Chains A and B, each alone.
Chain A
Amino acid sequence: MSARMSPDNVVVRSLAQIGDCGLFLLKILAALPRSTRYARETVRQLWFVGAMSLTIIMTCGLFVGMVLALQLYHVLSIFGGTAATGTVVAISIYRELGPVVTALLFAGRAGTAITAEIGLMRATDQIAAMELMAVDPLAYVVAPRFLAGLIAMPLLSSVFCALGIFGGHLVGVNWLGIDNGTFWSNMTATVDVWQDIINGVVWKSFVFGAVVALIAVFQGFTAPPTSEGVAYATTRTVVASSIAILALDFVLTAFLM
C-alpha cells in the first residue's frame, strides 16, 4: 500500500503492485482452509460469477464460431480446402479463442463486479465490521470469490467452445454447405483430447480464471475507500486482467505446445 502511494516511477509502482498481488495470493491460499466453513458463500459466488455469466458466454461463443467458419470458408476456398473448416474452427477455438475470449469476457463481466463489490465493502466499512466481529474477511469475502472464479472459468470456457463449434457448424454446414460428415470427421481426426481440450480449454482457462479472480479480489481489497478509488480499481481490474491474460496466453502456449 505504501509503495503505491510513494511518488515512484511507474515501473517501481507496477513491480510493487505485482509483489503485493503475489503476497495477497499467498494470504488467500492460507485462508482457504478457514473458508471451508463458508462453502455456502462459495456456491453463491459461483452462481453469481459462473451461472450468471452463461448468457454472455454462450452468445459470444456462438458468434465467434460463426464468424470463424465464415472467414475460414472463404479463405480456404481459395485453396479448395473448405473441408478443413471444421478442423480449423475447432483447433483455433480450443487452443486460443475459447480460453482467451472467455477470460476477457469473464474479467469484464465478473471481475469488475467482484472488485466493485469488495471495494464498496471496504468503503462502507463492512470489512472493518467483519474484522470487529472476528469474521476473517479473507476467508469470508475474498477466498470464496477467488475459488468461484477458479471453478467457473474452465466450465464457462467449455460452454463457450461447445457453442463455438455449434456456431461453426451452423454457418459451415447449414449455411455454406460444407458436407456434414466431412466437417465432423476432419475435426475428430485432428483434434487431440490431451493437446487441444485438456491443455487448451481446461488448463489454460483454469490459469486465466485464477489470474482474473486474483486480480479482481486484490484490486477490490486494496482499493482506496472512496468512490473514485473504487472506480479506478474496477478499471485497473479490466486493464490488468486483459494484459495478464494475453501475456500469459503466449507463455502458456509456448510451454504447452
Chain B
Amino acid sequence: MSQRKSYAVGTGLFIVLGFAALAYLATQTSSIANRYAGATYTVDAKFANIGQLKERAPVKIAGVRVGQVESIGLEPNTAVADVKLAIDLRYDKIPADSVATVFTSGLLGDQYVGIEYGHAKQYVAAGGTFSLTHSSPPLEEMLGKFFGAGGAADAIGGTYKVTAHFSNVGALSAGASVKMAGVPIGQVVSVVAEPTKLDAVVTLAIDNRYNQIPDDSAAAVFTSGLIGSQYVAIQPGGSPDVLKNGDEMILTQSAMQLEDLIGKFLVNGSGNADKKDAAAGK
C-alpha cells in the first residue's frame, strides 16, 4: 500500500513539475510576458515608410516599453502606412504634438516605435492620431547618402544596349541595376571576360525613356551600402551626342574593393598582408 502511495505521489509531483515548466515557458519566456494585463488605448500614427516594423513591435517612450504595435495597414489613396499603437492606459498623458518615430535597435536589431514628448497642453486621446511622425530611415538610404546609392530597380519597358569595359567589376553580376542620379534606369544584361584585352565587358540594358544620355558619360561600379549588392552608376558627361544601341562607354571606373579602401587607411593593409602571406609561404 505504502509502495503504491509513494509512486502515486511521485507521479503527481512529476505531472505538476511538467506543467509548471510548461507554464513557465509559456508565460515567462514568450511574448505573453510582454502582453499587458492592463487596458490599452489605441492611437494612430501615419508613416511614409515603416521599414521592417512588424505587428507586436514595442512602442517606447524614453526607451521604456509602454505598448505595442497593434496593426499595420496601408492607406490606399495616400500610400502612407497606417500604424495603430496600443498604449498602456497608465500612460495617458502623452502630449498631442508628440513625435512618433520608427527606430531600429542597434544596427541590425528589430524596429520599434519611439515616441518623443511634445509640449502641447492637450493629451492624445484614444482613437487620436500622432500627426508628427518620422519614418524609418532605411540603412541603405543613409549609407547611400555617403556612397551615392539608394532605391531599387523598377520594371523596364523597351531598352537599348550599350557596353562598357571595366578592369575590375568586383561582385557585379547580370541582373544588377544601372542607376543614374541614384534612380534605376536599367539593368546589367551580362558580365563576361574579354579574352584579348583581359578585362570585363559589361552589357547594360537601359530603358528607352532615358535616351538622352551623353556618349561621354562615365560608368562606375558602386556598392549599395557597406555590404549591399553592386550596381552600375552612370555619371552624365557633357557631349552633345547621345548613347545609342550598341555603343561603348569609354569612360569607366572599376569597382572599389572595400579591402583596398580599408587597406589604404590601415598600416597593416592589403599590401602588407600580401607580403606577409608571401613571407609565410616561404
Question: Taking the nearest CB of chain B, how far is it from the CB of A61, in angstroms?
Answer: 10
B25 touches A192 (CB 8 A): no
Asked whether A193 and B31 contact (CB < 8 A) given A43-B8, A47-B11, the answer is yes
Task: Report the stretch among A14-22, A152-160, A224-232, A238-246 that lies at the interface.
Answer: A152-160
Which chain A residues in 144-166 approach chain B with CB under 8 Å? 151-152, 154-156, 158-159, 161-162, 165
Question: Taking the nearest CB of chain B, how far is it from the CB of A220, in angstroms?
Answer: 21
> With the chains together, A161 CA to B18 CA distance in Å?
10
B11 touches A191 (CB 8 A): no
Question: Taking the nearest CB of chain A, how far is it from the CB of B135, in angstroms?
Answer: 22
> With the chains together, A197 CA to B26 CA distance in Å?
6
Classify chain B: how many residues form its interface, as a range. Answer: 20 to 34
Cβ-neighbour of B14 out of A40, A50, A190 (below 8 A): A50
Q: C-beta contact mask, B102-115 vs A, less than 8 Å → 1, else 0?
A: 00001111100000
Interface centre among A44, A90, A191 (most CB of B within 10 A): A191
B18 touches A159 (CB 8 A): yes
Interface centre among A51, A81, A90 (most CB of B within 10 A): A51
Asked whether A51 and B11 contact (CB < 8 A) given A81-B108, A191-B31, A196-B30, the answer is yes
Asked whether A79 and B108 contact (CB < 8 A) given A50-B11, A192-B30, the answer is yes
B10 touches A51 (CB 8 A): yes
Q: Is B36 an interface residue (CB 8 A)?
A: no
Q: Is A134 an interface residue (CB 8 A)?
A: no
B22 touches A154 (CB 8 A): yes
Which chain A residues in 44-89 approach chain B with CB under 8 Å? 44, 46-48, 50-51, 54, 79-81, 83
Q: Is B15 an interface residue (CB 8 A)?
A: yes
> With the chains together, A193 CA to B27 CA distance in Å?
8
B14 touches A155 (CB 8 A): yes
A193 touches B14 (CB 8 A): no
Question: Taking the nearest CB of chain B, how far is it from the CB of A110, in angstroms?
Answer: 13
A94 touches B18 (CB 8 A): no
What residue of chain B has the Cβ atom nearest to residue A187's Cβ?
Answer: B29
Cβ-neighbour of A189 out of B21, B22, B107, B110 (below 8 A): B110
B18 touches A156 (CB 8 A): yes
B106 touches A83 (CB 8 A): yes
Which chain B residues in 81-121 approach chain A with CB under 8 Å? 106-110
Which chain B residues in 1-24 approach chain A with CB under 8 Å? 4, 7-8, 10-11, 13-15, 17-19, 21-22, 24
Using Cβ atoms and an 8 Å threshold, which residues of chain B touch A189?
Answer: 31, 34, 58, 110
Q: Is B174 an interface residue (CB 8 A)?
A: no
Q: Is B32 an interface residue (CB 8 A)?
A: yes
> With the chains together, A61 CA to B216 CA distance in Å?
67
Using Cβ atoms and an 8 Å threshold, which residues of chain A touch B110?
Answer: 189
Using Cβ atoms and an 8 Å threshold, which residues of chain A touch B108?
Answer: 79-81
Using Cβ atoms and an 8 Å threshold, which residues of chain A touch B32?
Answer: 193
Q: Is A201 an interface residue (CB 8 A)?
A: yes
A191 touches B29 (CB 8 A): yes
> With the chains together, A43 CA to B13 CA distance in Å?
12
B25 touches A94 (CB 8 A): yes
A158 touches B10 (CB 8 A): no
What residue of chain A has the Cβ atom nearest to residue B6's Cβ?
Answer: A47
Question: Taking the nearest CB of chain B, how far is it from the CB of A181, in angstroms?
Answer: 11
Using Cβ atoms and an 8 Å threshold, which residues of chain B touch A202?
Answer: 22
Q: Is B33 an interface residue (CB 8 A)?
A: yes
> With the chains together, A201 CA to B29 CA distance in Å?
13
Question: Taking the nearest CB of chain A, how far is it from the CB of B226, in angstroms?
Answer: 13
Using Cβ atoms and an 8 Å threshold, which residues of chain A touch B33?
Answer: 184, 188
Using Cβ atoms and an 8 Å threshold, which residues of chain A touch B7?
Answer: 43-44, 47-48, 51
A154 touches B11 (CB 8 A): no
What residue of chain B has the Cβ atom nearest to residue A201's Cβ?
Answer: B25
Using Cβ atoms and an 8 Å threshold, which residues of chain B touch A191?
Answer: 29-31
Question: Taking the nearest CB of chain A, how far is it from the CB of B126, in angstroms?
Answer: 25
- 19 residue pairs from A and B, CB less than 8 Å apart: A47-B7, A48-B7, A51-B10, A51-B13, A51-B14, A80-B107, A83-B106, A152-B18, A154-B18, A155-B19, A158-B19, A159-B21, A165-B25, A187-B29, A188-B33, A189-B31, A190-B31, A191-B30, A196-B30
Interface residues of A (CB under 8 A from B): 40, 43-44, 46-48, 50-51, 54, 79-81, 83, 90, 94, 151-152, 154-156, 158-159, 161-162, 165, 184, 187-193, 196-198, 201-202
Q: Which 10 A-B pairs have the closest CB atoms?
A: A155-B18, A51-B14, A158-B22, A162-B21, A158-B21, A47-B7, A193-B30, A188-B33, A47-B11, A191-B30
Interface residues of B (CB under 8 A from A): 4, 7-8, 10-11, 13-15, 17-19, 21-22, 24-26, 28-34, 58, 106-110
